[in-house]
């Protein structure tokens, strides 16, 4: 509970004044709410009856100056007006309380949402790989909404409940100790069974929350991969899987509902027994003249006021059990260590040689790349060839620090400077990476290309697109560069998406450009055009091309061949062809496959 409240109040800086206003206005609302029964008690016992007044002496002095009991009996409308005034003031302060509580709650939740989003932006790439997107979304939406409901509703109820219980018991004990003890006996009972149910409800709500996360993941993945689902006719399979997860999710809420039903049923029983006990004992005391009629009416009224907050106390504990689960899931994100800005990060010239010195890296227990040492000369084109899983993409990820090298696992330098000393944001701005499966936003083609250069003119966008062999295709669209692509670029072909990503990187004009199998979806002719354009626009940039396609690498100044995470071959294309190793064999296999395909096409097969 303490951790949950600490998480909430962590975001209350600058808006605590609204919580203070909430407390004060709630206290005043409770004061006027309790004042009304006292006015009725005074009227029944003193004004209408003959009992002595139960008011402070200074109030009675004022009443006597007006004419005392006779004056009040002739001015019952004045007493009625006071009751109405108390009701109005109670409503006014209750309104102020709710408004200030809502302002406090929404301000806290706004900061929580912003902090969550900002923090996820700064979390390492490895963290995002380990956590499912749908689950992260669920924590940042549904779990935040649970916290919002608690702060905007239950937090106010906690304050109000505490004041109602404290004030009502104090006033009740001041009137009759016996009857007050009867009312007090039921409070520990409610607290006891609420505490017992608290743990059970919390566990079951955690299960519901986690299953909701799985359901969100299923929906997110299905909608993202809708083309694959349709292409393979997997609609029924996906529906069956969703129905299975939905069945588990529904069942978990049914079980939680059953527990809550039993919980609220016991609460209703306890409340009913309390009311009956107060009425029965009060009636006996009143019949023995141990309690005046006015006091009896006030006791019944106060017990009614007390029964609700005692009942609400159980609801608050129930809702707080859900909130504690949600805050714990939110803390999992907030407590994850973000990428820290280097306090002394430098911004060196990035056009120097890139050197890998004894670099090793693993995603688990087994190393993926082992003791790699090679140099990429600044301003040259460097190719990397290797089978799937040989560590090609890992080299690109390590170069722009998507993954960090552990101590003792070698180092990577650019211009002689260890990349761990380079300011991370500066490094990534200057090392442009184009992935095999690029991500496009649901924006226009022009906006996707100019993301790296906001405010770029259309001419600049078209120049980069032309270098990526994309301009002609885009101009053939009805809206040209104002064409809106679907989610993740779903309305474009694989080759068009890759070329948009290439154009986007070219807009940055980075001194280091890495193309990670980013031309795999384009035909050989387009591939050749893009490589020719790169030679023209590269300037002094260093280009690293990772590819399975030998033709894509033939124009490189030097080529690295990886096998099982180690260097198998390294040299110019000519040297590797003469060597007759993996590079030469791969070239011959791809050339033979291309020839066979051409013959089949000519034969109409």
Rounded mean pLDDT, 351-379: 89
Q: What is the mean pLDDT of residues 512-535?
A: 80
Q: Which residues contact 315 (CB under 8 A, 6 or more apart)?
A: 157, 267
Helix (H, G, I), strand (E, B) or coil at 362: strand
2-334 against 380-391+432-602: fold identical: no
Tell me: pLDDT of 550 over 50: yes
Residue closest to 325 by CA, chosen among 216, 201, 211, 218: 201
Confidence at 358, pLDDT banded by 50, 70, 90: very high
Cα dihedral angle (371, 377, 383, 385), rounded to 10 degrees?
-10
Return the structure tokens found at 198: 């608290």
Whether the pLDDT of residue 373 is over 90: the answer is yes
- Span of 35-49, 51-65, 155-169, 473-487 with lowest mean pLDDT: 51-65
**pLDDT for residue 79 is more than 70:** yes
- 415-469 pLDDT per residue, tens: 999 998 899 889 988 998 888 778 888 888 888 888 878 788 888 889 888 888 8
Q: What is the pLDDT of residue 605?
A: 47
- Decide: 45 and 295 in contact? Cβ < 8 Å: yes
At 601, is the pLDDT very low, low, confident or very high (cuts 50, 70, 90)? very low
In the chain, % of residues over pLDDT 90: 11
Residue 357's pLDDT band, with cuts at 50, 70 and 90, is very high
Residue 387 is predicted with a pLDDT of 83
Contact yes or no for 374/566 (Cβ under 8 A): no
Instruction: Specify the long-range contacts of residues 373-376, CB closer than 8 Å, at least 24 apart.
Output: 373/410, 373/567, 374/560, 374/567, 374/570, 376/542, 376/544, 376/558
**Number of alpha carbons in the 13 Å side-chain half-sphere of residue 276:** 6
Give residue 227's pLDDT: 63
Burial class for 435, CB neighbours closer than 10 Å (0-12, 13-18, 19+): middle
pLDDT at 560: 93
- The reported pLDDT for the residue numbered 391 is 85
Phi, psi of 444 (to 5 degrees): -75, 165
* Host H or E run for residue 374: strand 367-376
Joined together, the tokens standing for residue 488 give 């993740």
Say yes or no to pLDDT of 232 above 70: no
Tell which residue, 216, 210, 206, has the closest CA to residue 134.
216
Under 8 Å between Cβ of 559 and 583: yes
pLDDT given for residue 412 in this prediction: 93
Q: How confident is the model at residue 414 (pLDDT cuts 50, 70, 90)?
A: very high
CA atoms within 13 Å, Cβ hemisphere of 403 = 20
**559: pLDDT confidence band, cut at 50, 70 and 90?**
very high
Q: Say whether pLDDT at 159 is over 70.
A: yes
Least confident window among 98-112, 180-194, 418-432, 443-457: 180-194
DSSP-derived secondary structure for 330-358: HHHHHTSPPPPPPTT-B---S-S-EEEEE
pLDDT score, position 561: 92
**Please, what is the average pLDDT of the chain?**
82
- Nearest CA-CA partner of 503 in 548, 456, 554: 456
Q: Which residue has the higher pLDDT, 114 or 219?
A: 114
- Options 2.60.40.1120, 3.30.420.40, 3.40.50.170, 3.40.50.300; CATH for 380-391+432-602 is 3.40.50.300
| pLDDT at position 235 over 50 | yes
Give the pLDDT confidence score for residue 564 in this predicted structure: 86
| Tens digit of each residue's pLDDT (9 = 90 or more) over 576-599 | 998 888 888 888 887 765 555 444
16 touches 52 (CB < 8 A): no
Q: Name the nearest CA neighbour of 299 among 31, 27, 34, 85.
A: 34
The contacts of residue 479 (CB under 8 Å, 6+ apart) are: 444
pLDDT attached to residue 311:
64
3-class SS at 502? helix
> Residue 598: its pLDDT value, please?
43
Collapsing DSSP states into helix, strand and coil, what is residue 52?
coil
Split at pLDDT 50, 70, 90, the class of 356 is very high
Question: CA separation (Å) from 446 to 505, 525, 555?
Answer: 13, 24, 30
Q: What is the dihedral of CA 447, 448, 454, 458, to 10 degrees?
A: -50
Please tell me the number of Cα atoms within 13 Å of 385 on its side-chain side: 26
Mean pLDDT computed over 62-78: 73
The CATH classification number of 2-334 equals: 1.20.1560.10
Quote the pLDDT of residue 50.
65
pLDDT digits (tens, 9 = 90+) for 20-46: 998 899 889 888 887 877 777 777 766
Q: Residue 597: what pLDDT?
A: 41
Q: What does the block give as tokens for 19?
A: 């919580």
Give the DSSP letter of residue 572: -
Report pLDDT for 92. 94
Q: Please tell me whether residue 47 adopts helix, strand or coil conformation.
A: helix
Query: Which of these, 266, 278, 115, lies nearest to 196 by C-alpha position?
Result: 266
* Beta pairing partners, 346: 422
Token digits of residue 544: 């690293």
User: What whole-number distance in Å separates Cα of residue 415 and Cα of residue 420?
Assistant: 13
Segment 101-107 shows an average pLDDT of 89
DSSP summary character for residue 450: G
Given a cut of 80, is residue 575 above it in pLDDT? yes
- Averaged over 294-321, what is the pLDDT? 70
Report pLDDT for 489: 66
Residue range 210-230: mean pLDDT, rounded: 76
pLDDT confidence bin for 95, thresholds 50/70/90 = very high
SS3 category, 391: coil
- What's the whole-number mean pLDDT along residues 49-76? 69
Please state the rounded mean pLDDT for residues 486-495.
73
Residue 377 three-state SS: coil
Per residue in 287-306, pLDDT (tens digit) is 777 777 777 777 777 777 76
More confident residue, 282 or 449: 449
Lowest mean pLDDT among 259-268, 272-281, 343-352, 518-527: 518-527
Quick one: CA dihedral 205, 210, 211, 215, positive or negative?
positive
Pair 569, 394: CB distance under 8 Å: no
Among left, alpha and beta (phi > 0; psi -120 to 50; other), residue 350 is: alpha
Domain coordinates in residue numbering, the chain: 2-334, 380-391+432-602
């Amino acid at each position: 509970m303490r951790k949950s409240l600490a998480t909430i109040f962590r975001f209350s800086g600058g808006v605590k004044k609204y919580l203070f206003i909430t407390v004060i206005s709630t206290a005043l609302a409770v004061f006027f709410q309790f004042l009304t029964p006292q006015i009725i008690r005074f009227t029944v016992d003193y004004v209408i009856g003959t009992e002595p007044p139960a008011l402070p002496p200074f109030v009675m002095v004022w009443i006597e100056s007006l004419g005392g009991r006779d004056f009040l009996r002739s001015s019952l409308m004045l007493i009625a007006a006071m009751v109405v005034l108390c009701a109005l003031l109670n409503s006014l302060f209750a309104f102020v309380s709710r408004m200030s509580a809502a302002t406090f709650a929404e301000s806290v939740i706004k900061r929580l949402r912003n902090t969550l989003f900002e923090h996820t932006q700064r979390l390492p790439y490895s963290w995002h790989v380990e956590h499912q997107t749908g689950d992260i979304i669920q924590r940042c939406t549904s779990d935040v909404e649970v916290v919002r409901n608690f702060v905007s509703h239950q937090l106010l109820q906690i304050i109000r409940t505490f004041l109602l219980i404290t004030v009502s018991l104090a006033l009740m004990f001041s009137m009759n100790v016996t009857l007050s003890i009867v009312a007090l006996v039921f409070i520990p009972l409610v607290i006891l069974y609420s505490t017992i149910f608290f743990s059970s409800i919390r566990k079951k709500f955690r299960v519901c929350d986690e299953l909701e996360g799985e359901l969100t993941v299923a929906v997110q993945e299905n909608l993202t991969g809708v083309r694959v689902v349709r292409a393979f006719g997997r609609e029924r399979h996906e529906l069956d899987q969703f129905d299975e997860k939905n069945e588990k999710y529904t069942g978990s809420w049914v079980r939680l509902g059953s527990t809550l039903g039993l919980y609220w049923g016991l609460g209703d029983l306890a409340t009913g027994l309390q009311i009956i006990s107060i009425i029965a004992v009060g009636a006996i005391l009143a019949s023995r003249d141990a309690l005046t009629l006015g006091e009896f009416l006030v006791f019944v009224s106060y017990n009614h006021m007390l029964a609700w907050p005692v009942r609400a106390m159980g609801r608050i504990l129930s809702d707080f059990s859900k909130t504690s689960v949600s805050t714990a899931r939110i803390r999992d994100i907030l407590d994850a260590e973000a990428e820290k800005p280097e306090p002394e990060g430098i911004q060196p010239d990035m056009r120097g040689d890139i050197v890998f010195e004894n670099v090793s890296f693993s995603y688990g227990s087994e190393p993926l790349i082992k003791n790699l040492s090679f140099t990429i000369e600044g301003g040259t084109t460097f190719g990397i060839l290797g089978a799937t899983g040989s560590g090609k993409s890992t080299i690109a990820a390590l170069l722009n620090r998507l993954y960090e090298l552990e101590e003792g696992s070698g180092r990577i330098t650019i211009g002689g400077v260890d990349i761990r000393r380079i300011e991370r944001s500066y490094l990534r701005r200057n090392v442009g990476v184009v992935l095999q499966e690029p991500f496009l936003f649901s924006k226009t083609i022009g906006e996707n290309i100019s993301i790296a250069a906001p405010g770029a003119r259309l001419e600049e966008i078209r120049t980069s697109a032309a270098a990526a062999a994309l301009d002609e295709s885009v101009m053939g669209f009805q809206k040209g560069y104002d064409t809106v692509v679907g989610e993740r670029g779903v309305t474009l072909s694989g080759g068009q998406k890759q070329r948009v990503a290439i154009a986007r990187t070219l807009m940055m004009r980075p001194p280091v450009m890495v193309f990670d199998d980013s031309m795999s979806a384009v035909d050989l002719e387009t591939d050749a055009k893009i490589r020719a354009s790169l030679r023209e626009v590269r300037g002094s940039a260093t280009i690293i091309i990772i590819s399975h396609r030998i033709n894509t690498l033939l124009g490189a100044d030097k080529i690295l061949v990886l096998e099982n995470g180690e260097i198998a071959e390294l040299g110019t294309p000519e040297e590797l062809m003469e060597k007759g190793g993996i590079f030469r064999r791969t070239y011959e296999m791809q050339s033979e496959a291309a020839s066979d395909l051409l013959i089949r096409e000519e034969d109409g097969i």
